[in-house]
């Protein structure tokens, strides 16, 4: 049976198999795949692309869909970005590099 526990604050998902591993882990103990830059704590998403999409299509939640946050993307689509408030918060979070992907990894400038 697979591990069904929730990811802790010092853990991330393996970028290959999705197993929960420590942020500091260089290699996943389950599948043996080396994590990007020695840790699984970096997002594969591009910061500039996320910023532009959030700026122009944030009210529709497109930036959330493209970063794997499907559930909240649907909610943003239905509520028009929380009447603009949720969109503005997400825009500020992207600009300050606090916005995360579906694995909880921050989307940072390269």
5-11 average pLDDT score: 82
48-106 pLDDT, tens digit each: 999 999 999 989 999 999 999 999 999 999 999 889 999 999 999 999 999 998 888 88
Q: Model confidence at 12, in pLDDT bands (50, 70, 90)? A: confident
Give me the pLDDT at residue 45, please. Answer: 81
Q: How far is CA 94 from the centre of its chain?
A: 11
Q: Taking the model in full, what pTM does it have?
A: 0.61
Answer whether residue 7 shows pLDDT above 60.
yes
In whole angstroms, give the CA distance from residue 47 to residue 97. Answer: 8
Residue-wise pLDDT tens digits, 27-51? 888 898 887 654 445 677 889 999 9
Q: % helix / strand / coil in the chain, to the nearest 5? A: 45, 10, 50
Q: Where are the beta strands (DSSP E) in the chain?
A: 11-13, 20-22
């Amino acid at each position: 049976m697979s591990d069904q526990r929730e990811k802790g604050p010092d853990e991330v998902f393996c970028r290959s198999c999705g197993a929960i591993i420590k942020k500091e882990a260089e290699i996943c103990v389950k599948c043996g795949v080396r994590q990007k830059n020695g840790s699984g704590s970096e997002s594969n998403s591009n910061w500039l692309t996320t910023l532009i999409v959030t700026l122009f299509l944030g009210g529709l939640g497109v930036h959330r869909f493209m970063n794997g946050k499907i559930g909240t993307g649907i909610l943003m689509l239905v509520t028009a970005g929380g009447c603009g408030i949720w969109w503005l918060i997400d825009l500020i979070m992207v600009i300050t590099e606090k916005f995360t992907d579906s694995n909880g990894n921050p989307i940072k400038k390269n």
